[in-house]
């Protein structure tokens, strides 16, 4: 068990049955009362942010969470199959757990998989990925500055808005947090 | 985080204004010992040890009360105080307290003092009291009113801890493992009341429940509450005032109870201040108050962290 003196950014604790990670914390001590730690935490399952005043002396249950670097191998009917890069064990994670992250998760990419009570509950992607365009309308040579965009498809099937000069086979950099095109890294 | 030169200059001007204000009110500035044998006995305060059988004061109140009992009716002290294990945006282990006593004056007189003092501090630093919300009379509320208004809880003050816990839980407050009356109280206070006070203008919070009496006397007409107020302004807890308890028997009972609570919680138990207890019967009805000087400077200058208004706020770490 932890107590409030263990609270640090990134500490993983259980609150009302869900795992949280500490985002921010502050010492507070009202009037002639006990010390509290005003603690802002993020729910590791839902991303929801919660603020609690945790009283010094209160026991905090550590959350049994672990992140492992895993390589995404392939998808079957309802799961994505990952391989632990250190043990080579393979695990399947339901597609519903991965959700929209799948748009920016091409095969063979390394991701951080979050386990809660030994069950995979989510993945975090690298902030940026490099992907070749597999499908888009022909580009217009020379049009580099107008800011106009067109849809382009990458290997995951996701559609990205790219500048008009991008062609099939070009390799681009994408921000996985926003789904935005950032730059062209190589021409076809 | 070493304070900026302008901050230290403003701090010095505010300090001069505070001294001048007390002088104009006929107060005698006193200087009582910083190293004592009996530091404050409060359950949630830990003193810093200073040599064999000595401690640094957590507040100068015991010695100042002895001066009031000895016949000094209006005294003020601007004192360094020390509290172990307190570091946060509003806390440092070493800080400056303005503490004053008015014999034969009601608690309300200290609220008037606070209003005048805050305005004088703002003016000394060249700040507009109106812009700081200090120009109009400060709001006044009771603890019971605030609990009803912001937490939807009817607080009596004489309910036991189990009943208080049930009230807090019914209002949706996550009380955790708290079983002590004051712990449950402050959980509700921090979760529901304090954020609302922080958003409001300066507010005196009067009539604290008897279990939080500390050194305050019971209110005549309603023994479930005591003569105590706290002043909140700009999200800061600025001052705590008591209608001082002068009943030595009752004071000894509270000290003994607090000592037992400290022992039960594994905290150091300090010797009871017998000199204070023997002086209390000679003390006239008195109102006393402690105001955090560093926090006053924070309020006036709009600082977010108390370290910003201290010369070496980054080194002063509990």
- Range B5-138+201-309: architecture per CATH: 2-Layer Sandwich (3.30)
Domains of chain A: 2-60 (2.30.30.30), 65-125 (2.40.50.140), 129-186 (2.40.50.140)
Q: Does ipTM exceed 0.95?
A: no
pLDDT at residue A96 in the model: 86
**Which pLDDT score is estimated for A57?**
82
CB contact under 8 A, B190 and A32: no
Q: Which residue has the tokens 């003050």?
A: B157
What was the pLDDT predicted at B313? Answer: 87
pLDDT exceeds cutoff 70 at B2 = no
Mean pLDDT over A52-74 rounds to 93
C-alpha B11/C-alpha B5 separation (Å) is 10
Task: Give the gap in angstroms from C-alpha B119 to the nearest C-alpha of chain A.
Answer: 23
Higher pLDDT pick, B55 / A143? B55
Residues from chain B contacting residue A61 (CB–CB below 8 Å): none
> pLDDT tens digits for B217-226?
999 999 999 9
Q: Is it the case that residue A43 has pLDDT exceeding 70? A: yes
Measure A122 CA to nearest chain B CA, in Å.
28
Condensed to tens digits (0 to 9), the pLDDT of residues A64-92 reads 999 899 999 999 999 999 999 999 999 89
- How many degrees, rounded to 5, is the angle at CA A120 between CA A116 and CA A126? 105
Report pTM.
Answer: 0.84
Residues 6+ away with beta carbon under 8 Å from B166: none
Has residue A142 got a pLDDT over 70?
Answer: no
Among A34, A41, A60, most B C-beta atoms within 10 A, so best to mutate, is: A34
Chains A & B: contacts with CB separation below 8 Å: 69
Q: Is the pLDDT confidence value at A7 over 90?
A: yes
Residue ranges of the domains in chain B? Answer: 5-138+201-309
The model's pLDDT over B129-177, given as tens digits with 9 standing for 90+, comes to 999 999 999 999 999 999 999 999 999 999 999 999 999 999 999 988 8
The percent of residues above 70 in pLDDT, for chain B, comes to 98
Answer whether A33 touches B (CB < 8 Å): yes
Contact B44 A36 (CB under 8 A): no
pLDDT score for B107: 97
Q: What is the C-alpha to C-alpha distance for residues B119 and B164, in angstroms, rounded to an integer?
A: 38
- Given CB atoms, is A20 within the 8 Å cutoff of chain B? no
pLDDT in tens, B98-108: 999 999 999 99
> What are the chain A neighbours of B214 within 8 Å (beta carbons)?
32
Q: What is the overall mean pLDDT for chain A?
A: 91
Chain B residues within 8 angstroms (CB to CB) of chain A: 42-45, 85-91, 174, 176-178, 182-183, 185-187, 189-191, 194, 212, 214, 230, 237, 240, 265
Contacts of A57 in chain B (CB under 8 A): 177, 183, 265
Helix axes B293-301, B107-124, angle to 10 degrees: 50
For residue A146, the model assigns a pLDDT of: 65
Asked if pLDDT for residue B34 goes beyond 70, the answer is: yes
What is the chain B residue with the closest CA to A38?
B190
- What's the rounded mean pLDDT across residues B208-215? 90
| Nearest residue in B to A35, CA atom | B44
> What is the least distance, in Å, from the CA of A3 to any CA of chain B?
12
Nearest CA in chain A to B182: A33
Distance from CA of B191 to the nearest CA of A (A): 7
- pLDDT confidence of A144, banded at 50, 70, 90? low
The residues that bridge with B288 in the sheet, in sequence order, are B101, B242
Q: Which tens digit of pLDDT belongs to each residue from B262-307?
A: 999 889 999 999 999 999 999 999 999 999 999 999 999 999 999 9
Structure-token pair, residue A123: 């993945």
What pLDDT score does A140 carry?
65
CB atoms near residue B276 (< 10 Å): 21
Contact B237 A30 (CB under 8 A): yes
Region class of A50: left (phi > 0), else alpha (psi between -120 and 50), else beta = beta
Interface test with chain A among B44, B59, B168, B241, by most A beta carbons within 10 Å: B44
List, as ranges, residues 37-76 from A with C-beta within 8 Å of B.
38, 52-55, 57-59
Q: What is the mean pLDDT of chain B?
A: 94
pLDDT band at residue A143 under the 50/70/90 scheme: low
């Amino acid at each position: 068990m932890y107590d409030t003196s263990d609270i640090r950014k990134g500490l993983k604790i259980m609150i009302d049955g869900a795992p949280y990670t500490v985002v921010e914390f502050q010492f507070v001590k009202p009037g002639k009362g006990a010390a509290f730690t005003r603690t802002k935490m993020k729910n590791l399952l839902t991303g929801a942010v919660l603020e609690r005043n945790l009283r010094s002396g209160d026991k905090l249950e550590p959350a049994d969470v672990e992140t492992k670097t895993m390589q995404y191998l392939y998808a079957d009917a309802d799961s994505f199959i990952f391989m632990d890069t250190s043990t080579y064990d393979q695990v399947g994670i339901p597609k519903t757990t991965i959700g929209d992250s799948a748009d920016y998760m091409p095969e063979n990419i390394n991701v951080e998989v979050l386990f809660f009570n030994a069950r995979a509950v989510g993945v975090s992607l690298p902030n940026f990925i490099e992907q070749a365009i597999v499908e888009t309308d022909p580009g217009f040579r020379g049009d580099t500055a107008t800011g106009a965009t067109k849809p382009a498809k990458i290997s995951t099937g996701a559609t990205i808005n790219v500048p008009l000069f991008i062609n099939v086979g070009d390799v681009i950099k994408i921000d996985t947090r926003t789904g935005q095109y950032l730059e062209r890294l190589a021409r076809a | 985080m070493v304070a900026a030169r302008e901050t230290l200059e403003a701090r010095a001007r505010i300090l001069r204004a505070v001294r001048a204000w007390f002088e104009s009110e006929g107060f005698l500035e006193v200087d009582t010992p910083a190293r004592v044998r009996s530091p404050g006995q409060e359950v949630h305060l830990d003193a810093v040890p200073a040599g064999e059988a000595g401690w640094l004061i957590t507040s100068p109140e015991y010695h100042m009360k002895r001066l009031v009992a000895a016949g000094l009716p209006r005294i003020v002290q601007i004192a360094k105080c020390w509290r172990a294990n307190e570091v946060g945006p509003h806390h440092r282990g070493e800080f400056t307290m303005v503490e004053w006593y008015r014999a034969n004056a009601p608690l309300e007189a200290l609220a008037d003092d606070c209003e005048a003092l805050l305005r004088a501090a703002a003016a000394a630093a060249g700040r507009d009291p109106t812009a700081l919300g200090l120009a109009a009379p400060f709001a006044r509320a009771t603890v019971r009113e605030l609990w009803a208004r912001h937490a939807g809880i009817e607080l009596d003050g004489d309910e036991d801890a189990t009943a208080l816990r049930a009230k807090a839980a019914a209002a949706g407050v996550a009380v955790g493992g708290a079983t002590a009356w004051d712990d449950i109280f402050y959980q509700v206070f921090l979760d529901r009341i304090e954020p609302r006070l922080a958003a409001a203008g300066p507010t005196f919070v009067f009539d604290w429940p008897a279990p939080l009496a500390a050194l305050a006397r019971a209110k005549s007409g309603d023994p479930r509450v005591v003569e105590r107020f706290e002043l909140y302004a700009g999200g800061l807890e600025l001052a705590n005032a008591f209608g001082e308890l002068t009943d030595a028997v009752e004071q000894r009972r509270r000290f003994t109870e607090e000592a037992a609570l400290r022992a039960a919680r594994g905290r150091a138990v300090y010797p009871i201040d017998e000199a204070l207890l023997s002086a209390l019967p000679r003390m006239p009805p008195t109102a006393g108050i402690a105001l955090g000087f560093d926090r006053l400077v924070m309020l006036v200058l709009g600082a977010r962290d108390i370290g910003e208004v201290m010369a070496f706020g980054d080194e002063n770490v509990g």
